[in-house]
Amino acid sequence: MTTGTPPDTPQRVLFYGVTGSGKTTAARRYASATGLPEVSADDQIGWLPAWTERDPTEQARLAATLASGERWVFDTVYAKWADQVLPRTELVVALDYPRWVSLSRLVRRTMRRVVRQEVVCNGNRESARKAISRDSILAWHFKSFPRKRARIRRLIEDDCVPVLRFTRPRDLDRWLRSVEAS
């Protein structure tokens, strides 16, 4: 479903969805296909080494600086600095999948990262202990899921920016393939 009329070639695109929906991967594919610079919220704004969250004021400043550019693809937006990005966004690509889809992806991704000791962002790695802690990405999925889905509904209802909403990964993949082909 698309709300509003997106520009033919949007230059400022925000991917948004629930934790584990594949926003970063989709944003990376879109940025690669369009030549737009990718902004990784976790790497460039949210997190420092040793899983230290960057000061919220600094996050907002960085987000404002990055959003002030004429061309970008944000892989997500944090609520605490969304007001720096949304007013400049020309298209929101919303990944609004059922919980079982995003949660199963998140569990697989987290397990892979733990086993392979993959770097997540800024030198940070997920550990088995972190994966089952109260502040794990899995716990965050349960805390944030209803809020993020509600934000997608508000973005659609507010009609301030065109929203391209996907409820199935295969539909997103089909759309991304069409972008890559053009």
Which residue has 């086993």 as its token pair? 115
Q: What is the CATH number of the domain that holds 172?
A: 3.40.50.300
In one-letter notation, the amino acid at residue 113 is: R
The answer to whether position 5 is within a domain reads no
For residue 95, give the nearest of 144, 26, 7 by alpha carbon. 26
The answer to whether position 3 is within a domain reads no
Beta bridge partners of 14: 74, 92
Tokens of 39: 């902004």
The answer to whether position 6 is within a domain reads no
Residues 27 and 125: their CA atoms lie apart, in Å, by: 21
Kindly give the residue spans of alpha helices, DSSP state H, lying in the chain: 23-34, 56-67, 82-85, 99-116, 128-131, 137-158, 169-181
Spatial contact of 20 and 102, defined as CB atoms under 8 Å apart = yes
The answer to whether position 86 is within a domain reads yes
The answer to whether position 129 is within a domain reads yes
- Residue 171 lies in domain: 11-181
> pTM of the prediction?
0.92
The answer to whether position 94 is within a domain reads yes
Tokens of 54: 């960057």
The answer to whether position 1 is within a domain reads no
Q: What pLDDT is recorded for position 31?
A: 98
Neighbours of 146 (CB within 10 A): 11
Which residue has 């991917």 as its token pair? 15
Q: pLDDT (tens digit, 0 to 9) for every residue of the chain, 182 residues total?
A: 556 566 678 999 999 999 999 999 999 999 999 999 999 999 999 999 998 999 999 999 999 999 999 999 999 999 999 999 999 999 999 999 999 999 999 999 999 999 999 998 888 888 888 888 888 888 989 999 999 999 999 999 998 899 999 999 999 999 999 999 98
The answer to whether position 2 is within a domain reads no
SS3 92: strand
SS3 102: helix
Count of domains observed in the chain: 1
